[in-house]
Structure 1
């Protein structure tokens, strides 16, 4: 485990989503990411419990291969990815999200961006941020693509289509989920994305 805390703290779902995007190679070379030991354990469990040869496009395929890609990146000394240990370690189905919240509670000022999939967890983190005044942004997984766009790594079209592909690939296609995925993103993608995937 590392003591390095990079500017972006990301949960399991966000990491899998960016790893399965068309821009994973760019993300790996560009983004500076941190996750928790609990999220890393979830990724390892996903690799073990989801079949490697699941049909392409299935959720099982996404979870297995996305988790595997993320773990390989965290083990790659060239990638600016780190894992921090959260103590005490939360357990249960939402342990990864709660580990992100625990990390922010202790080290919130170390981060600029907190990327987490669960809307309720994002709302709790935003409320905490408002109460403490610590200046980090709480964002959905699509924001990782926005960082690549904002730093000039992606064109507007690539960014917009990448967000749409991420939402479809992760099955975040209900009206509420689509709205959440665009909530922190100040870009109008109406010329690039079907209307049903716009807020």
Structure 2
């Protein structure tokens, strides 16, 4: 049973997402939501993330929503690697980060100082993996990206399971959501 789960995955630009209104974001969030529900039903109590722009941020948003709507005992943690982690992001992502900063159950900077070197990012991955019992990762090893560093940290930890979110999982969610929208449209047409 995975009591505490790190959430990892691609940054927006690695997914071809350059606008906060991109239609792929709700699909990714719904895919994460379905995986998280399954994990919660099997005993997961915490979702943990550094809040990196993209899947990590969206995953914590989904966990917060699940906590508010269906799983009040669920807990969330935001562990940014350094002070000012979000300062170079666009305004929408900065606002989402600040909102989560105040909503999560636990928040702490891993290094309590501003950016100094890439070593802080390596420490972030190691710290999060060492303080969780498994990982939920949206990543395809055939399409390398920044999640490879989080995966590398996971592989260094003995008996650290990774629950994969594949491109096929996201495509299936997109198909189901499109069918649901079409069915709703047909119902509206009859009325």
TM-score range, shorter chain: 0.3 to 0.5
Structure (1 or 2) with the greater helix fraction: 1
TM-score (norm 1): 0.40
What's the TM-score, normalizing by structure 2? 0.41
Q: Which has the higher strand share?
A: 2
Which has the larger Rg?
2
